Amino acid sequence: MAQAGAEIYERFFHTLPTIMAAVGFDGLFAEANQGWEATLGHKPAALAGTPCLDLVHPDDRDRIAAIKAKLIEGDPQHLFEARFRCADGGYRWLYMRCAADRDKRLIYVAASDITPRKATEQALRDSEETRRKILDAAPMAMSIVN
């Protein structure tokens, strides 16, 4: 029965399109699923044994390293956003959920691509900044009426 249960979880891990991985406490990928290839272009087999932080945007690495340390120290889970490098050299924003298994010395990761949402948020900020500049530079009094 235990083998059947393990087989179910194995199929779940490799079938689900969600980005999933197991990362050792040493920071190396122990296993990754097809979500990494579908979203970022990295073949799961190529990730095995490579440092997870190698894929993280340089501006996000210290924060991710600190989160990893907290998980190892005993925090049950962390949720965060970070940029990860694609196989083509670009970056995509991922929303990460990580939990530590202290007995197995693994950190389990599930992630979703939030790049479109981040682009929309940036466009809204840019639009607000443009509107503010127009209003501030106007040579006459203006108001916005609904």
pLDDT 10s digits, 58-93 = 999 999 999 999 999 999 999 999 999 999 999 999
C-alpha pair distances (Å), 103 with each of 24, 64, 74, 106:
11, 22, 11, 8
pLDDT at 12: 75
Residue 59 or 12, more confident: 59
CA–CA distance, 128 with 144 (Å, rounded to integer): 13
Compute the distance between CA of residue 14 and CA of residue 9 in angstroms, rounded to an integer.
Answer: 9
Residues 6+ apart with CB under 8 A from 117: 93
